[in-house]
């Protein structure tokens, strides 16, 4: 059985439109997750180690104030389009759109005020919570009224995140959750002792602004071959990598399939990521720099967490040979990602 509780987390500042932010606590025997109505943020996720001890394994803040200030999308649902759009430009049905540039020359994670920075309308379910919002036509310069539902459900050790959307005009869409994980427990110094594997035969090389070049490159014989588990710290050293911030190309299938695994041998905690999405962005917290004070007043240095963001491929709206990122009127965007936690 999953227990669902709701409580007030805080009040949005007036300049952000005010409004009450609620926190929803989903609890099973093995996992406890806290989700905010602001940005559908996963604010905490506690899971057991092999000795049955619970630890919070996601980065974030103790108070609402942390989330209303600038932060690197901790735990949030990002959209309308997750990841980067080159030069913030795209053309749909002959019309060119220019987005806000918030990542060097590119647009990142929905723009200046994306889905992570707005209040969603919650509905409690027997085993979870469903959040809804209407992103109006022209919001952040995107076309069409977009109705979006994000549903979190917890069953035993498995957290499912379902994303649905419908639009009044053809629009690009790519939704993901940007949780930062450290299976040793949030506040641990790095993730070098984690073992990571990703079920991908190909990845997308990027230019120096992190936009895919268009090449779909084989992982074979490179530092991007994570098909067998690697110990992250040793692997980064071996291949002289500063970290990962790359899309890995998953099998093109609408069915649920394994995308990635992360394991922390010292505690026995493990996480498996299953998804219907065509890609997964593996990011090793390269831009964390110790400047943010997180939960329990700990700082988050570089490489102190990793993200496994299930998604469509970055800049797909400008790359015809990538899986299509367009949603048309009458169609429904519908993707699910499952995070399965266990300990051995």
pLDDT grade, residue 254 (50/70/90)? confident
Q: Which residues, in sequence order, are CB contacts of 123 under 8 Å at separation 6+? A: 129, 130, 131, 132
Answer yes or no: is pLDDT of 200 > 90: yes
pLDDT grade, residue 15 (50/70/90)? confident
For the domain made up of 3-343, give the CATH fold.
Beta-galactosidase; Chain A, domain 5 (2.70.98)
Return mean pLDDT, the chain: 97
User: Is 245 one of the annotated binding-site residues?
Assistant: yes
Region of poorest pLDDT, from 87-91, 104-108, 251-255, 311-315: 251-255
pLDDT grade, residue 135 (50/70/90)? very high
pLDDT > 70: percent of the chain: 100
User: Is 178 one of the annotated binding-site residues?
Assistant: yes
> Active-site residues: which are they?
178, 309
Q: Where are the domains of the chain?
A: 3-343
SS3 letters across the chain? CCEEEEEEEEECCHHHCCCEEEEEEEECCCEEEEEECECCCEEEEEEECCCCCEEECECCCCCHHHHHCCCCCCCCEECCECCEEHHHEEEECCEEEECCCCECCEEECCCCCCHHHCECEEEEECCEEEEEEEECCCHHHCCCCEEEEEEEEEECCEEEEEEEEEECCCEECECEECCCECCCCCCCCCCCCCEEEECCCEECCECCCCCECCCCEECCCCCCCCCCCEEHHHHHHHCCCCCCEEEEECCCCCCCEEEEEEEECCCCEEEEEEECCCEEEEECCCCCCCCCECHHHCECCCCCCEEEEEECCCCHHHCCCCCCCEECCCCCEEEEEEEEEEEC
Q: 137-175 pLDDT, tens per residue? A: 999 999 999 999 999 999 999 999 999 999 999 999 999
User: Is 193 one of the annotated binding-site residues?
Assistant: no
User: Is 335 one of the annotated binding-site residues?
Assistant: no
């Amino acid at each position: 059985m999953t227990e669902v509780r709701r409580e007030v987390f805080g009040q949005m500042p007036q300049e952000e439109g005010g409004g009450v932010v609620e926190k929803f606590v989903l609890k099973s025997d093995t996992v406890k997750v806290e989700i905010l109505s602001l940005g559908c943020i996963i604010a905490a996720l506690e899971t057991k180690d092999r000795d049955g001890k619970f630890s919070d394994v996601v980065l974030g803040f103790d108070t609402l104030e942390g989330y209303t200030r600038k932060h690197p999308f901790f735990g949030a649902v990002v959209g309308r389009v997750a990841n980067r759009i080159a030069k913030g430009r795209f053309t749909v049905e002959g019309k060119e759109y220019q987005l806000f540039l918030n990542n060097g020359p590119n647009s990142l994670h929905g723009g200046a005020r994306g889905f992570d920075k707005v209040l969603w309308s919650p509905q409690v379910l027997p085993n979870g919570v469903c959040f809804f919002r209407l992103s109006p036509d022209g919001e952040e310069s995107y076309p069409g009224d977009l109705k979006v539902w994000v549903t979190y459900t917890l069953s035993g050790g498995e957290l499912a995140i379902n994303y649905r959307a419908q639009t009044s005009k053809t629009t690009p869409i790519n939704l993901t959750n940007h949780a930062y994980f450290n299976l040793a427990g949030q506040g641990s110094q790095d993730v070098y002792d984690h073992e990571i594997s990703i079920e991908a035969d190909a990845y997308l090389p990027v230019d120096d602004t992190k936009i895919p070049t268009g090449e779909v490159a084989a992982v074979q014989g490179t530092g991007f071959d994570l098909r067998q588990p690697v110990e992250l710290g040793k692997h980064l050293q071996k291949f002289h990598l500063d970290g990962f911030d790359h899309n890995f190309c998953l099998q093109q299938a609408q069915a649920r399939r394994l995308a990635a695994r992360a394991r922390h041998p010292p505690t026995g905690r493990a996480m498996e990521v299953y998804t219907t999405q065509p890609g997964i962005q593996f990011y090793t917290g390269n831009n964390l720099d110790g400047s943010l004070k997180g939960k329990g007043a700990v700082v988050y240095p570089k490489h102190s967490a990793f993200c496994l963001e299930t998604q469509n491929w970055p800049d797909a709206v400008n790359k015809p040979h990538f899986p299509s990122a367009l949603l048309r009127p009458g169609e429904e965007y519908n993707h699910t990602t499952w995070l399965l936690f266990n300990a051995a």
